[in-house]
Structure 1
Amino acid sequence: MILSTGIACALLVGCFLILVILRVPVAFALGIATIPVVTLELRLNPFIIIDRMFQSYNSFILLAVPFFLLAANLMNSGKITDKLIDLARVLTGWMPGGLGHVNVAVSMLFAGISGSSTADAAGCGKILIPAMIKEGYDRRFAIAITACSSVMGVIIPPSILMIVWGGVMQVSVGALFLAGAVPGFLIGFSLMATVYGYAKVYNYPITMKPTWRSAFKAFKGSFLAMLTPIFVIYGIVAGIVTPTESAIIAAGYSLFLGMVVYRTVSPKEVGTILYDTGRFASISLFAIGTASVFGWLLAYYNVPRLIIELLTDLHLGTFGTSLVIAFLFLFFGLFIDAIPTIIILGTVLLPVAEQANISPVVFAIIGIISLAFGLVTPPYGLCLLISASIGNMNVVKVLKEVFIILLPMLFILLLIILFPEIALWLPKQIMPGALK
């Protein structure tokens, strides 16, 4: 049988949705959903699934994913997160709602090291959520601000999602890192403004008034850790190392800090850290493989071309198309992990963005920021689930605070859609050749 585009799409999407409703893990659901189409289609054979999965793994750049996860796990296990929190207290703890500002600031600092939002939510949440509750902060607010601030882990460079995006879409990872810096800091400042508003309404206290001595001690303690993003980002932007090599450097440097400098990681703990990293990395990489097969089948049946024709007929222009792209990423991010969404939806929408004269770098930043919100919005909302679990509260009870905190973050996304130069300014200054 030769399947039409409509029937093939109905089988792919229908089987996938049924499997997700049945609570089959997304990575497996994507792979299983391709089987009926491959079985029924005379022009395809089952070996195409294995071949496309292998092709997706045959990418040197994807080796960066497990190494950045390893760096994040080493940072958490090595108590380096504690030193970042001490620095954040000095920088922001003097403001009303001090510990809330510390929560946001440490997420910004941790984002510049780990590239992982879930590692941020887990590592920082274990320390800050109990501390905020103890200081009199509402439990729901403590959970919500921890979850929402953790999304900066995939926006502020280095970012695992940017590495995957660059590898899949053939976009300069260095340009993506630079493009994410300004939007990431804008989101961080918008979160601090939200915390300030909560502090004034609910009379949340300051955490500390730093002295020169405490400031010097905090900077001294965190200085070596803060060199990590400099090594990673400068190395990539300057063309000294590849993203994969920079991830290896970050992991090796984190191991050196934990075992030699701070001596907070013992040889016995290294085995456990490597096991945990391998387990989480395998989930991400398996999802990349199955999503690649799913996305390839959509392209095989000309779904991207049909979407281009549909949006072209609507005459939405650059701004309208950007809004549609953001909405689709926001919607898919509610249900699916970011990495498979990048591979499926990103590859489908890339020709649409090109047709609307949207820069590939701006398209990437819109997609990644939109997907980041999916980390704190049910039913997927992995960072929210982690934070709620740490705070011992049902997710549903936290949703009101989450949506309030998300509003200024959505405003920053809208600003980037309206003024793409916000994302492009830094790459144009430092890596103009990567934008051509």
Structure 2
Amino acid sequence: MIISTGYACLILLTGFVTLVVARVPVAFALGIATIPLVVFDIRLTPFLIMDRMFNSYNSFILLAVPFFLLAANLMNGGKITDKLIEFARVLTGWLPGGLGHVNVAVSMLFAGISGSSTADAAGCGKILIPAMTRQGFDPRFSVAITACSSVMGVIIPPSILMIVWGGVMSISVGALFLAGAIPGLMIAAALMATVYGYAKVYDYPTAGTPTLTEFWSALKGAGLALLTPVFVIGGIVGGVVTPTESAIIAAFYSFFLGFVVYRTITLRDTVGILYETGRFASISLFAIGTASVFGWMLAFYNVPRLMVGVMTGLEFGQFGTALVIAGFFLLFGLFIDAIPAIIILGTVLYPVASAADIHPVVFAIIGIVSLAFGLVTPPYGLCLLISASIAELNVVKVLRDVVIILVPMLVILLLIILFPEIVLWLPRTLMPGFK
């Protein structure tokens, strides 16, 4: 039989939600939810579904995902993160709430290298959460600021989410990287302002005023690591390398620093790092395949066209449509990982954004920033779970501080929606021909 759009949506969404509630991993839930339609709709066959999955993997740009994860794991495994933390300390540690500012600053620096928020939360959190607690910071605040600052990992370039978005939507990854820079810095400023407010209310200490010698020593220690974003972003924007090639350069450069320059990585360590990278990359890439099938089925049953018709009929206008889009991404981010959400929701809402004259790059940044917040909001909240587990705290105890810290970050998202030039100015300035 031929299944209608309404029934297809009902089957897909009911099946997916039921499986997620039953604690089936999201990547498997997305694939299993499509099976009833394959069985009952005579237009679909298992071979067609397998072909869609293969096409989603047959993408050169997706090779960047495991290599950026490898670069992040090599940075953490090679203790290069420690050098970034020391550099962040001499830059911002003298402010009230010193280690809180260091937490934000090192997340910003690490984001410019790794492209992964979870690697940021794990690598920086293991060092800074215990250190902040020893200095008298409330453990709940330490966990909350670590988790919230780690979201910059997917907003400040390079970003794994931007690479996936660029590959799925056929948008310039270089433009996305540049577009995310100013919003990322604005979020960093909002976080540091929040830390300053906490420090004044709770009398949190500084981390000491650095001497010129300490500053020079920290700069020398972190200087080589800080060249990574120059190679990665400069190479992509300048058209010298592709995103995948830049990810390979970042991984080999991280290995060179850890194995040759700092000598903090051994061959035995490398085996463990490669294993962990392969494990996490396989989870992400498998989710890309099943999410692509799920998203393709939504498109097959004309769900995007239906949504465009509904949104156009409601006449929200550009601002209203952007708010609704952000709301959808924020909602999805509560329950599923950002990569499947991009493939499913991004492809469905892209025609809606186009119909409302929202620039594709602005649409991308709204989606990525909104999904990034899902990394610190339960029930998914992977960065929050990682940070809370480091401090051995129940996530529920941390939620109040997370909400307080998220409010100014949400204001930044609203500013991006209100003033799209925040996103578009840098690509238009540095990329000739960008419109």
Question: What TM-score, normalized to structure 1?
Answer: 0.99
Shift of 1:432: 4.0
- The aligned residue for residue 341 of structure 2 is 341
Equivalent position of 2:26 in the other structure:
26
How far, CA to CA, are the matches of 2:214 and 2:99 in structure 1? 16
Distance 1:270 1:96 in 2: 39
Shift of residue 104, structure 1, vs aligned partner: 0.2
**Distance across 1 between alignment mates of 2:249 and 2:18:** 42
Q: For residue 172 of structure 1, what is the amino acid of its counterpart? A: S
Using the alignment, how far apart are the partners of 1:211 and 1:258 within structure 2? 27
Q: Equivalent residues in 2 for 1:248-327 (5 A)?
A: 248-327=248-327
Residue type at the aligned position of 1:35: I
Q: What SS does the corresponding residue of 1:265 show, helix, strand or coil? A: coil
Structural RMSD (CA): 0.5
AA aligned opposite 1:107: S
Larger displacement relative to structure 2 (62-71 or 38-47): 38-47
Q: What's the CA shift string for 1:69-90, capped at 9, x where partnerless?
A: 0000000000000000000000
Residue segments in structure 1 that go unaligned for 5+ positions in a row: none
Distance 2:222 2:29 in 1: 43
CA contact under 8 A between 1:136 and 1:204: conserved in structure 2? yes
Give the secondary-structure state (helix, strand or coil) at the position aligned to 2:2. coil
- 1:161 and 1:368 in contact (8 A); partners too: yes
Q: Give distance in 2, aligned partners of 1:160 and 1:44.
A: 32
Structure 2 residue aligned with 1:159: 159
Partner Cα separation in structure 2 for residue 335 and residue 152 of structure 1? 20
| Deviation of 1:48 (Å) | 1.6
After superposition, give the CA deviation of every residue in 1:339-398 in whole Å (9 maximum; x if it has no partner).
Answer: 000000000000110100000000000000000000000000000000000011000000
Q: Secondary structure at the match of 1:273?
A: helix
Three-state SS of the structure 2 residue aligned to 1:336 is coil
CA distance in 2, matches of 1:391, 1:420: 38
2:410 and 2:294 map into 1 onto residues whose CA distance is 29
DSSP-derived class of the 1:393 partner: coil
Q: What is aligned with 1:218?
A: 218
Match of 1:173 in 2: 173
Shift of residue 15, structure 1, vs aligned partner? 0.4
* CA distance, structure 2, for counterparts of residue 127 and residue 210 of structure 1: 20
Give matches, 1:356-435, under 5 Å.
Answer: 356-435=356-435
Provide the C-alpha distance between the structure 2 equivalents of 1:407 and 1:24, rounded to a whole number of angstroms.
32
Report the Cα distance in structure 2 between the residues aligned to 1:25 and 1:250, rounded to whole angstroms.
30
Report runs of 4+ in structure 1 exceeding 3 Å deviation.
Answer: none
Identity of aligned residues (%): 76
Shift of residue 244, structure 1, vs aligned partner: 0.1
**Cα distance in 1, alignment partners of residues 350 and 69 from structure 2:** 27
The alpha-carbon deviation at position 433 of structure 1 amounts to: 2.1
Secondary structure (helix, strand or coil) at the match of 2:429 reads: helix
Report how far residue 434 of structure 1 moved: 3.5
The total of aligned residue pairs comes to 435
> How many angstroms does 1:298 deviate by?
0.2
Contact 1:172 1:434 in 2 (8 A): no
Q: Which amino acid aligns with 2:96?
A: P
Q: Report SS of the residue matched to 1:363.
A: helix
One-letter identity of the residue aligned with 2:32: I
Deviation string, structure 1 residues 143-172 (Cα, Å, up to 9, x no partner): 000000000000000000000000000000
